[in-house]
Amino acid sequence: MLGQITRWLRRGVTGGVAALGLTAFGAPALGQAASGEPILVGHFGCLTGSEATFGISTSNGIRMAIEEFNAKGGLGGRPVKLVEYDTRGDDKEAGAVVQRLINNDKVVAVLGEVASNRTLAGAAVAQAAGIPLISPSSTNERVTAVGDKIFRVCFIDQFQGYACAVFAHNELGGNAALLYDQSQSYSAGLAEEFKKNYAKLGGKILVEQSYNRGAADFTAQLTAIRNAKPDVIFVPGYYTDVGSISIQARRLGITAPLLGGDGWDSDELGRIGRENIEGSFYSNHYAADQPDPRLQDFIAKYKAKHGAIPDALAGLGYDSANLLFDAMKRAPSQAGDALAAAIAATKDFPGVTGSITINAKRDASKPAVIVELQADTPGQPPRPRFVAKIDPPTDK
């Protein structure tokens, strides 16, 4: 065993000590740690760029799952080793790095991405190669429709849009404005679902505006929205843009709350938006202040390691990896078809983000929460606080 360890280390595997479950080296658990030929699992994520916290949190969650799995002996003594590439938040790069994971690194499965656009790009490659891909957190409906090798462990935007519409209509008022990112399938899709459900509930969309990811100036759109005097502004974008939008909206004198989807979920949003984003709401996969014991146990472990409260991306990354390992244990072999069939058969998997059953569309049906951004102490960046839980109706 020692010979093998030295060989891996000499190859210069970055993060190898933890990834190979060797943290137990010299500790009493040594006898149980995995030491056979490693099984390679890929992750593609935006580790840099305007949504960098998405990729970093997901990576942290995946790495925690791998460490725990390897410390318990891995897959019959074989450790899982992570191969990870940065998509830099770029769609084309996402497709290219998934190609590299499959062709060069020969991973048995791929985890990622967060943003639906990038997962769609990676999924086309994985599906063509017959290698299973699990997105921890992409919610656009089309993602898993790419094919029978593509899965996710989160809810979809058909439900998230419904959850936001119900909350907006019941709690914030019957007149809404829309401001969505037309460059992202996530944002455009979620806006569409919100619109449909809000109208069904009797709400009115007074004005509809759009922008492109990375835009600097939202004055024209926000002026049109201010003139319509909505009760709530639905902004299903990613956190960097939403932070700027909140600042510019308040500067223009708009006082209506903003409401968004899971794309808001980053500590950065509170740091950028500060008091401008306080009192606004978003839907998410969990709230860290919910009492669920499995979630709280994960939060405590994550905090001890990273010194921060994990966002939902970390929890979903952790769940995607653990669900994959569970399927790997049940699969007769790690070949694409066998592994995909085992993932598809997942029932009542105890995730930290909730119980996960993979349905016929290879999606997971789970409740959503609504959180409100509130500062613990005045002047501090606001943080998400649990407000409501919304269960999926049977048809979502």
Point out which residues bind ligand PHE (CB under 6 A): 54, 114-116, 137-140, 186, 262-263, 265, 312-313
Contact call for residues 137 and 285 (beta carbons, < 8 A):
yes
CA 16 to mean position of chain CA atoms: 25
Peptide bond into 372 cis (omega under 30): no
**Min. distance of Cβ 115 from ligand PHE in angstroms?**
4
**Min. distance of Cβ 245 from ligand PHE in angstroms?**
16
- Pick between residue 82 and residue 242 the one whose CB is nearest to ligand PHE: 242
Q: Indicate the SS3 state at residue 209.
A: strand
> Residue of minimal CB distance from ligand PHE?
186
Phi, psi of 78 (to 5 degrees): -95, 125
In the numeric block, the tokens 């005097």 are attached to 229
> How many other CB atoms are there within 10 angstroms of residue 3's CB atom?
6
**What gap in Å lies between CA 242 and CA 249, rounded to an integer?**
10
- Pick between residue 144 and residue 175 the one whose CB is nearest to ligand PHE: 144
**Min. distance of Cβ 81 from ligand PHE in angstroms?**
26
- Pick between residue 230 and residue 263 the one whose CB is nearest to ligand PHE: 263
Taking the CA of residue 280 as centre, how many other CA atoms within 13 Å lie in the half-sphere pointing to its CB? 34
- Pick between residue 138 and residue 197 the one whose CB is nearest to ligand PHE: 138
Q: Give the contacts of 73 (CB within 8 A, at least 6 positions apart).
A: 32, 33, 34
Cα distances from 150 to residues 47, 59, 120, in angstroms, run 22, 19, 10
**Min. distance of Cβ 133 from ligand PHE in angstroms?**
14
Q: Give the contacts of 366 (CB within 8 A, at least 6 positions apart).
A: 154, 155, 285, 353, 354, 355, 356, 392
- Pick between residue 185 and residue 334 the one whose CB is nearest to ligand PHE: 185
**Min. distance of Cβ 261 from ligand PHE in angstroms?**
7
Give the DSSP letter of residue 25: T
- Pick between residue 117 and residue 127 the one whose CB is nearest to ligand PHE: 117
Q: Indicate the SS3 state at residue 67.
A: helix
**What gap in Å lies between CA 230 and CA 150, rounded to an integer?**
39
**Min. distance of Cβ 75 from ligand PHE in angstroms?**
28
**Min. distance of Cβ 349 from ligand PHE in angstroms?**
18
Phi, psi of 258 (to 5 degrees): -95, 150
Closest CA to 210 of 230, 233, 227: 233
Taking the CA of residue 222 as centre, how many other CA atoms within 13 Å lie in the half-sphere pointing to its CB? 20
**Min. distance of Cβ 390 from ligand PHE in angstroms?**
16
- Pick between residue 185 and residue 209 the one whose CB is nearest to ligand PHE: 185
- Pick between residue 54 and residue 198 the one whose CB is nearest to ligand PHE: 54
- Pick between residue 207 and residue 242 the one whose CB is nearest to ligand PHE: 242
Q: Give the contacts of 130 (CB within 8 A, at least 6 positions apart).
A: 149, 336, 337
How open is the CA angle 344-265-302, to the nearest 5 degrees? 75
**Min. distance of Cβ 67 from ligand PHE in angstroms?**
23
- Pick between residue 19 and residue 62 the one whose CB is nearest to ligand PHE: 62
**Min. distance of Cβ 140 from ligand PHE in angstroms?**
5
Q: Which two tokens stand for residue 30?
A: 């040594």
